[in-house]
Amino acid sequence: GVVAFEMLTGSLPFVHSSFTKVLMMHTTQPPPTLRSINPHIPVELEVIVLQLLSKDPNHRQQSVQELVAQLQSVKQYLPLH
């Protein structure tokens, strides 16, 4: 999820000069929406990435196959070159 977030926005979801603070942010704060950083990201893709970053493992995709199916369902919204 963090890698996808960074690939799509050019930044990490949590940034701070203190490593400990970044760890705390990861565990206690929701990540910013991708579209708040890059408004060109399709909403459908943002939903998938934010699900990958869910604090509750039960709310994340439960398999690679589930993630692939979700990504395939949104590829029509992506400007692929």
Report the distance separating Cα 31 and Cα 4, nearest Å: 13
Q: What confidence score (pLDDT) does residue 81 get?
A: 57
What is the average per-residue pLDDT within 58-72?
95
**Would you mind telling me the total number of residues written for the chain in this entry?**
81
Collapse the DSSP code of 19 into the 3-class scheme (helix H, G, I; strand E, B; otherwise coil) and give the result: helix
Report the distance separating Cα 36 and Cα 40, nearest Å: 10
Which two three-digit tokens encode residue 2?
């963090």
pTM: 0.87
Is the pLDDT score of 75 beyond 90? no
Count the Cβ atoms, other than its own, within 10 Å of residue 66. 12
Q: Quick: pLDDT tens for 6-31.
A: 999 999 999 999 999 999 999 999 99
